[in-house]
Structure 1
Amino acid sequence: MYINIKRATSENLNEVSELFNDYRVFYKQDDDLELAVSFIAERLKNKDSVIFYAYDENDNALGFTQLYPTFSSLSAASSWVLNDLYVTPSARRLGVGKKLMDTAKLFAIESNAKGIALETAEDNVNAQALYESLGYEKEVGFYNYFLTL
């Protein structure tokens, strides 16, 4: 299968928004394409995230990843948070996720980032296997906290 990766622009809003909506549904959120379009349009307009998406030789969208910039005071360096990775069910196990992750890594290197941080659900063993095969390591000794407002 031919897999190409492209950085998303406003021209790709529909394809990426559909993938983003499917991603949210995968994580048990309501199916809401209107919300997905609004959210992705805002990210692209404000340039506050970087989105790469995969497509095949027939321009069918296969998956996407979204990265957000972050900074570390202790290391005085920038990093990227890989917040989203999604591959359509029909394209899984075909190398799409790996290709998206490789593209994210290359982008991080080109932007002189210290690294890429990500998290995934404890039961998402397929994603964990992919991340670990690419050299990502589980951090030990840290707890994640979140304040819902």
Structure 2
Amino acid sequence: MHIIECSLKDVEQAAVLFNQYRVFYELPDDLEKSRDFLQSNLHNNLSRIFLALDNEQNPVAFAQIYPAMCSLAMKRFYWLYDLFVAPHARKAGYARHLMNHLTTLLGAEGADRISLDTATSNKAAQALYESLGYQREGEFVTYHQYLANTAPH
């Protein structure tokens, strides 16, 4: 198991997993649009993308994080927005390995925290995050205002 941070040369590999992730969430299968989105994010430094590679160096999982700032801590933190493991590679520890890698790397960079949201029905993800020491939010309520006639996701 090996983790790499993607550069523009890795976009094609990441896009395949990202497209599968979107299909998992019942969005249209669109590899080209997935590739363009990730390429734009990397080119414009909007996100950081990590791939977990199996022993044959094939990408089997990915994570995409977005930088943000915490005014109170006066430090950068990251939103883990996307985490996906290919169906054939599930239950092999790739998600845990990716999460541990992010914790170590971002902590060494001085980030304040990693924050994430997950569906209330996604018990497997909740169990993983809680086993890694993530704390369930109990103090704040989240609101969204969807703009420009976009559908909720």
Q: CA RMSD in A?
A: 1.0
Please name the residue that 2:46 is paired with.
48
Structure 1 residues 1-149: aligned runs within 5 Å: 3-149=1-147
Code of the aligned partner of 2:59: A
Structure 1: gaps of 5 or more residues: none
Alpha-carbon separation, structure 1, partners of 2:136 and 2:110: 22
Give the secondary structure class of the aligned counterpart of 1:146. coil
Alpha-carbon separation, structure 2, partners of 1:75 and 1:9: 29
Code of the aligned partner of 1:56: D
Once the two structures are aligned, what percentage of the paired residues are identical? Answer: 39
Give the secondary structure class of the aligned counterpart of 1:21. helix
**TM-score, with structure 1 as normaliser:** 0.95
**TM-score, with structure 2 as normaliser:** 0.92
Give the secondary structure class of the aligned counterpart of 1:75. coil
How far is 1:141 from its partner?
Answer: 2.4
Q: How many residues are treated as equivalent by the alignment?
A: 147
Code of the aligned partner of 1:47: N
- Structure 1 residue runs of 4+, over 2 Å off? none
Alpha-carbon separation, structure 2, partners of 1:139 and 1:108: 21
Alpha-carbon separation, structure 2, partners of 1:70 and 1:126: 26
